Chains A and B, each alone.
Chain A
Amino acid sequence: MIARWLCLLLPVSTSLIGGCGDHQSVLNPAGPEALQLTQLTWLLFGFGTVVLATVVLTVIGAVRGPQPVRTMLASTRMVVSAGIFFPALTLTGLLGYGIWLTRANFANPGEAGILRVVVTGEQWWWRVDYPQGGNGAFATANEIRLPVGRPILFELRSADVIHSFWVPNLAGKVDMIPGRITYARLHADRTGIFRGQCAEFCGGPHALMALEVIVMTQSDFDAWLQNQSRPAIDPQSTSAREGKALFLAAGCGACHAVRGTPASGTIGPDLTHLASRRSVGLDTATMSQASIARFISDGQHVKPGNRMPPFRIFAPDDLSAVAIYLAGLK
């Protein structure tokens, strides 16, 4: 809230700053944990500004001020009070607040009755598992949907190198370290779409490893959960059926799973409900038949360095058929 007001009050127009980028911003908290971090940010910013201003004024006073001021400043006593007592006092206060906030925000992995989501960092995508799915566990990728108003426990892992799970509107970041499990606990108190990004350099297109967190009402979330637990929809049209056959014949199932079909690979993202997601391959590539086709045949130009080789083996009609099939997997 305060952030929005400040954005408006800033002397430079928001259009010049390019909008306050509020769907991946620390300054636009969407949950109680994030709100505490934002309040801390403003407190620290205020403290820092006051201290900096004091130092600047003191320097000016020392260099150009009247003699009585300079005499007062030219003493060991001033150095001790300003350099030792004042910081010791204020920093101790800040530290106390910081320690309290740290303990309050630490996730307890054993917490009962909480919705769990397992996110595994991969080069350069997010594997998302819902162990307590509507009708059984299911997997998805690059998009996390959550119910509003309920605490969520994220179990964070890595399949290869160190990544970091960061959705600034909702919580601070937690690293994903191979061989270890880390946890993040958060709570969204309004619906919306929030963007997250990997925040630990993981090589190659680390810059493109983004994810979306979509916070929905509880009923919408339940419906989504039910849908995701079901196996894949059967193809509805001839082209889609052709596409499915081509998909299986080309060996796509070696890397990608589509539940309810022979495709059961786990190397790449699960595609069972691919078309229910907002984007494909890259968060800025909106879900459509065209972007699916593009990623299949030219993925290295969409996300350079990603681990899926370009599939140029399809003739244009065949590629459309596969894309139609996949675009039907809602």
Chain B
Amino acid sequence: MIKNSIYLAVIVTTFLASLTLAQEPVLFDGTNPIVLSFQAPSGQNGPPADDAIPQSVLITPTDLAKELQSAKQKPLILYVGPRTLYLQAHIPDAEYIGTGSADTAQEKLRDRVKSLPKNSAIVLYCGCCPWSHCPNVHPTYQLLLSLGYTNVKVMYVATDFGTDWVNKGFPVAKGK
């Protein structure tokens, strides 16, 4: 009887634990910025050659996801898209800045980075729209460049965040 009860307890605990763990998003613990080195996207899925953001600065979602899983120190990830999309799903530990095309968001971005060293590793991303239509990543990248930040990367989202990150099974967090 005692033996059976122990077996039963183990089975039930495992079962309930699996129910809980299956639903929990994977979270990263944010740490100090580091030096980034990623492969730029290329080929048919890449950005236009004359894009204002140079290809050397771009990160593919796959590369960023790998880096976040393996690196001990994570870059500072800043989300420069709309709040409603951020609340539904965002990269774990990504900080909400606001739609990068708006003056208020650019002001908030200035404030966020002003105390950081100029070589801080910073990743910007939006994913509100297909890359060529996104109004948010270009002005925020240009702003950081003009402020002298030298280690800024931009995640290249070809279609949108849902298609290129969430649907590929990369980790997400929800809410604020």
A, B: real partners: no
A interface residues, Cβ below 8 angstroms from B: none
Query: Which residues does B use to contact A, with CB under 8 Å?
Result: none
